[in-house]
Amino acid sequence: MSGHDNEYLWDKSGPVDPEIQRLEMLLEPYRCGNLPPLPLPKRRAWLFLPPFVAAGAVAAVVLMVSVWFVLRGIRAQTWTVSVLAGEGRLGARVLSGSARLHAGDVFETGADATARIRMPVGRLEVEPNTSLRLIESKRNQQRLSLLRGTIHARVTSPPRVFIVDTPSAVATDLGCAYTLHVDPSGDGLLRVTHGWIELEWRGRGSLVPTGAVAVMRAGLGPGTPFFEDSSEAFRGALAAYDFSAGALANVLKTASPHDAISLLNLVRNVSASRRGDVYDTLARLVPPPAGANRDSALAGDPHALDPWWPAVGIAHGPGH
């Protein structure tokens, strides 16, 4: 290109400038694509009134709406799905743009499709070959079921508002970002990139902090969380204990201080008769912090382990 005579750059007339054309094609994926529906208020004529009139109207509306919220307690929340690439399906309908999701809707991405779901409490990036159903969207609970595939969640709500059901565990957000995968067999994998997730299945629960992963098995529930850079011996012993009736002793024997978050979860989940063994291994690997109380932990006090989380390198315990 050369100065002011490049008419292709100016208005796409004249000879095509190959480099500019290459950049246009390269950057096309960044272009403004399918627009999500603009969430216009249902009655909005007041927005266009002179400010002093609008202010009065606003005050009246705020009062009425506040009363309505107090009486109702719960209100429906809007979810919007936007297909970013390829095609998705919303129920029986092929979707290539954006649409609202309602409770009960099933959304699926094809093999080449990706999508983004904007929720009242954050957003989800949806990978190809994913199927999910919106269960409910209320002020105090946003819940979906991940039937198969992969989602990347970034959640901004207070803890315990956003919940994902999977065939092998219920994942409750405690303020975080994470990736959740469910394969066609119902097995799954959770990887937490920030914050905490609580996994629960038939009374068995795990707390998964930043950087940790948890394997889930259909019919067996979630395994004990661990760091992926733990030793192979420890990970193998843990998997055997969680899903194949392997010996707890092997887990304790191969644990290192780096595995303290796994041991903290095990203290919660092993039988009462083995709790002392796990606690003592933990205390041997990591000096007990001020406030730690063995008797309370062995008695199953849910808060007895709170002082341990900072001691094992987790800045804040779950729910903080």
- Interaction site with other proteins (CB under 8 A): 1, 3-4, 6, 9-12, 19-20, 23-24, 26-32, 35-36, 38-40, 44-45, 47-51, 54, 82, 116, 118, 123, 125, 127, 152, 154, 156, 175-177, 179, 193-195
Q: How far is the CB of 44 from other proteins (least distance, A)?
A: 6
Token pair, residue 181, equals 């995968």
Nearer to other proteins among residue 45 and residue 71 (C-beta)? 45
Token pair, residue 24, equals 């246009």
Q: How far is the CB of 71 from other proteins (least distance, A)?
A: 27
Token pair, residue 122, equals 């954050």
Q: How far is the CB of 43 from other proteins (least distance, A)?
A: 9
Report which of 243, 198, 190, 193 is spatially closest to residue 219, judged by C-alpha positions: 243
| Neighbouring-strand partners of residue 116 | 82, 125
Nearer to other proteins among residue 16 and residue 299 (C-beta)? 16
Nearer to other proteins among residue 41 and residue 203 (C-beta)? 41
Nearer to other proteins among residue 9 and residue 247 (C-beta)? 9
Q: How far is the CB of 284 from other proteins (least distance, A)?
A: 33
Nearer to other proteins among residue 116 and residue 274 (C-beta)? 116
Q: How far is the CB of 287 from other proteins (least distance, A)?
A: 29
Report which of 109, 139, 136, 111 is spatially closest to residue 125, judged by C-alpha positions: 109
Tell me 45's DSSP state. Answer: G
Radius of gyration (Cα) for the chain, nearest Å? 26
What distances in angstroms separate CA 269 from CA 19, 236, 242, 265, one per listed residue? 61, 18, 10, 6
Nearer to other proteins among residue 53 and residue 299 (C-beta)? 53
What distances in angstroms separate CA 64 from CA 52, 54, 68, 146, 218, one per listed residue? 19, 15, 6, 37, 48
Q: How far is the CB of 263 from other proteins (least distance, A)?
A: 26
Place of tokens 């094609």: 25
